Amino acid sequence: MPDTREYLTQEKYNELVKELENLKTVRRKEVAESLEYAKSLGDLSENAEYQEARELQANIEDRISKLETMLQTTVIVKMHHSEVVGIGSTVTIQKEGESTKAVYKIVGSEEADLAKSKLSINSPLGNAMLGKKEGDAFSAKTPNGVVKYSVVHIE
């Protein structure tokens, strides 16, 4: 059975709680007002403002539902130094046959952001690193085939 928990830092958790609160209090009210205004314009079947407001309302309700579910299953990850790669680790890896190194922070899927070198534990590379120690070699399946790496350093 797949792990349905969401792993988040306290910072990201707080950010999502704040987003949820904003959606429930501010955005819902704004959309309700937009719907009322659009209804006042008359014929709803050809009312672009009404259709747009309904679509926005559906998107907001979907996001609220997703956030509520996610926050109920969240595990707060504390950043700590460990001998093995896990969620919250900052890992330096090196591709076999190359001299350049890459540094990634291993995070839950909601926090993943490659532009900030935050790699999801659910990504092929992130998952392949889990449980490895400094000096360990591992392989990750990529679109270009299997690539071999080694763990240079763990923080």
Domain boundaries, position 116: 90-154
Distance between CA atoms of 91 and 155, rounded to whole angstroms? 6
Looking up residue 47, the CATH number of its domain turns out to be: 1.10.287.180
CB 146 within 8 A of CB 88: no
Question: Is 40 domain-assigned?
Answer: yes
Smallest Cα–Cα separation from 6: which of 122, 116, 118?
Answer: 122
pTM comes to 0.72
φ and ψ of 138, to 5 deg: -155, 165
- Tokens encoding 27: 């955005």
Measuring CA to CA, how many Å separate 57 from each of 5, 12, 89?
27, 25, 38
Q: What total of structural domains would you count in the chain?
A: 2
Pairing of strands 6-8, 74-76: parallel
Divide the 155 residues of the chain into consecutive groups of 10 and give the mean pLDDT of each group. 75 94 96 89 80 93 95 83 85 94 91 93 92 94 90 93
Question: Is 82 domain-assigned?
Answer: no
